[in-house]
Amino acid sequence: MIAFGVPVAIVAQAPAQPATVPATAPAVGPAAGIDRELEEALGGDAKVLKGRVVPVMVDPGPVGGPPGPADDGGVTTSPLMPWPTGQGGGGGDSGNPDLSFILDVAAAMFDTERGRQLGAHDPTEAGFNLQQLELSIGSAVDPFSRFDGNLVFSPFGVEIEEAYATTTALGSGLQLRAGQFLTRFGRANATHPHTWDFVDQPLWMGKFFGGEGNRGLGAEGSVLLPLPWYVEAVGSLTDARGASTNRSFLGTRLAPPRTPLDLLATGAVKQFFPLSRDWSLSAGISGATGPSALGARDRADLFGTDLYLRYRPLEAGDPTVVTVLLEGARRRRQGPGLLLEDTGWNLSAVWRFDFRWGVGLRHEEVSGLPGDPLDPAWLDMRRRTSAQITFWPSEFSRIRGQVSRDEGAGQAVGHAAMLAIETVIGAHGSHAF
């Protein structure tokens, strides 16, 4: 039985007597026949369900007022569910997951034949582009775990972007996650397009990981360290295959892993510093190592760092938000007679100066090198500078205009202009700082 928005209590058995439909006066005419049918149906249900655990609806009481009868503050238990359930409880509420749809579409113009964006959800065709339609799913499973998933619909089909279970009650600052997920290398990789300040994915992510960012099936563990400031250590083992998710590692290879060395190992340390009431800083270092497709026993390694500075005054009514992000990575790959090393980074600043308006500027550089089997034409430094302006009609939609200048990597200077529209419906969980 599914109930929406009403607390549910559990009882041990059905009523001893068949349930009846109360009435203020005897029903006559067609209503009497309906009443008799209801009584017979409910009485039959009572016989079938006798001795079983059945859900019973309870009065939640007035909004903001005391709990209603049998509600006990919205916290109830049962012999089969000895943990608390209800709104805000670890066991979930109505049993229905939070669902949301997020639509990202964009119109684009380029002065080259195609756009040079590297992200799978970036606008790459002149004209209209469906970046993605994302279905986000999330719910507490029980007091010990929760489930989160993201299904992405595109003109090419449907893909499982993420689907994983996370523990919530291990204690001692420990947490485990298993399933398919975006690894927590750096800051941008673990995020989805609807959280980006700019319309397209950073260049270094597309070159080092692939158009979808680094993700795979696997398991992850994290721990909050007992230090005077916030420090989280994260480690994961994931599948190293996938042309659009692990191009620096096994990429298009289809053979399954034979030993743990055939998996991608990722580690990161995340720190947070509240500098003042209005200023905060997040800093992280990351590393990833896995098998390289260039040779049977060769390895590929990535090392990254990220700094995120945020200013948001706490005074009531002040909409100002200023963020500065610096993120980059260095890649090292072995191959038969080869040692290839390249770097990439991006620096961005975004200023939301009004409840509905904001602007941003981003610069990126990614090096190239001769003899790279993955990108043989990328011989020198590629540089891209982008500027955007954002309008929020509400917190559930935004419109972004973006222009960019792209040069290097053996190509002529290119320019792009994009107009992106995003809408969100449904219950969508909050995102990490």
Summarised one tens digit per residue, pLDDT across range 26-35 is 444 444 454 4
Residue 407, pLDDT above cutoff 50: yes
Task: Give the pLDDT score at 366.
Answer: 97
Structure tokens at 9: 């209590």
CA–CA separation, 335 and 298 (whole Å): 6
The pLDDT confidence band at residue 71, using thresholds 50, 70 and 90, is very low
pLDDT of residue 427: 84
Which residues are paired to 133 by β-bridges?
103, 153
Q: Write the CA distances from 367 to 173, 370, 372, integer angstroms.
A: 39, 11, 12
The three-state secondary structure class of 61 is coil
pLDDT for residue 341 = 95
Give yes or no for residue 431 having a pLDDT over 80: no
CB 178 within 8 A of CB 220: yes
CATH fold group of domain 98-426: Porin (2.40.160)
Mean pLDDT score, 38-47: 45
Best-predicted range by mean pLDDT among 86-100, 298-312, 417-431?
298-312
According to DSSP, residue 262 is labeled G
**pLDDT-based confidence at residue 419 (cuts at 50, 70, 90):** very high
Read off the tokens for 120. Answer: 């799978």
- Per residue in 146-189, pLDDT tens? 999 999 998 888 999 999 999 999 999 999 999 999 999 999 99
Mean pLDDT of 300-324: 95
| Local confidence band at 429 (pLDDT 50, 70, 90 cut-offs) | low
pTM: 0.77
- In this predicted structure, the answer to whether residue 79 has a pLDDT above a threshold of 50 is no
Q: Where are the domains of the chain?
A: 1-96, 98-426
Phi-psi region of 368 (alpha: psi -120 to 50; beta: other; left: phi over 0): beta
Pairing of strands 145-154, 157-167: antiparallel
Residues 354-406 pLDDT 10s: 999 999 999 999 999 988 999 999 999 999 999 999 999 998 999 999 999 99
Model confidence at 209: pLDDT above 60: yes
Residue 297 pLDDT = 85
pLDDT over 80 (residue 51):
no
Per-residue pLDDT, 360: 98
- State the pLDDT confidence band at 63, using cuts at 50, 70 and 90: very low
Lowest mean pLDDT among 120-124, 202-206, 320-324, 408-412: 408-412
Look up residue 73 and give its DSSP letter.
Answer: G
The secondary structure of residue 72, as a DSSP letter, is G
> For residue 208, what is the DSSP state?
H
Residue 237 has pLDDT above 80, yes or no: yes
Buried b (16+ CB within 10 A) or exposed e, 61-71: eeeeeebeeeb
Number of CB atoms found within 10 A of residue 184's CB: 23
At 95-130, the pLDDT tens digits run 789 999 999 999 999 998 788 999 999 999 999 999
